[in-house]
Chains A and B, each alone.
Chain A
Amino acid sequence: QVQLQESGPGLVKPSGTLSLTCTVSGDSVSSDSYYWTWIRQSPGKGLEWIGYIYFSGSTNYNPSLESRVTISVDTSKNQFSLNLSSVTAADTAVYYCARVSRYYDLDSWGQGTLVTVSS
């Protein structure tokens, strides 16, 4: 059974870069059957898709965040990562990593990690 676990700083300063890593177990990020994605949820709000990556390194980002987002994959560590630059308080959210199935649904999720943007 696949498991995903987010890790990274819980506090980031305004104008800084938010960096998170998702460690995958029970499956391989090198699998050609899945994409790997980041989703966020601001406090008390709905879900917002950030972007996804394929094992080959090809990516697709939310147009509203594209200028600030980079998602990368490290197959040797079975991890994928999120970098979000020039953060503001509006980027404060719980960040989830998830696996995207062939039907473009998110069939496995990490537990989420709260990132607060504050000085």
Chain B
Amino acid sequence: EIVLTQSPGTLSLSPGERATLSCRASQSVISRYVAWYQQKPSQAPRLLIYGASSRATGIPDRFSGSGSGTDFTLTISRLEPEDFAVYYCQHYATSFTFGPGTKVEIK
């Protein structure tokens, strides 16, 4: 079973700063099946990135995804006030696996 680890657990930044979130898989995975989600309090997760690097419909271009093998990154180029939330990575092999999440909070 593939395990996803996200770091850091919490990221404290100010609006306008760059956020770099990491997702590491316990073994090499197929990039095509790596996704990132944003979740705000009391809301369902929202798909941001699919296929490791493709933005979902309606997602601003300040969000970007990259990576391959075991290491994947979600970058928010300049944080907007609405970007403070929890972010999850996800992978599918024969089952779906989610990382534990990174909380991006206002510094």
Contacts and interface: CB of A to CB of B under 8 A. Distances in A.
B95 A49 contact: yes
A40 B68 CA distance: 28
Contacts of A111: 43-44
A14 interface: no
Contacts, number: 58
Interface in B72-106: 88, 90, 92, 94-101
Nearest to A47: B98
A103 B100 contact: no
Interface residues of A, number: 22
A63 interface: yes
Contacts of B96: 37, 39, 49, 52, 62, 104
Interface residues of B, number: 23
A110 B44 contact: yes
B36 to A, nearest CB: 9
Chain A, interface SS category: strand
Interface of B: 32-33, 35, 37, 43-47, 50-51, 56, 88, 90, 92, 94-101
23 contacts: A46-B100, A46-B101, A47-B88, A47-B98, A49-B97, A96-B45, A103-B35, A103-B51, A104-B35, A104-B92, A104-B96, A105-B35, A105-B47, A105-B56, A105-B90, A105-B92, A106-B90, A107-B47, A107-B56, A108-B47, A109-B45, A109-B46, A112-B44
**Closest 5 pairs (CB-CB, A-B):** A104-B92, A49-B96, A105-B35, A109-B44, A105-B50
Given A49-B96, A103-B51, 8 more contacts: A37-B96, A46-B101, A49-B98, A52-B96, A104-B33, A104-B35, A105-B90, A106-B47
Interface of A: 37, 39, 46-49, 52, 60, 62-63, 96, 101, 103-112
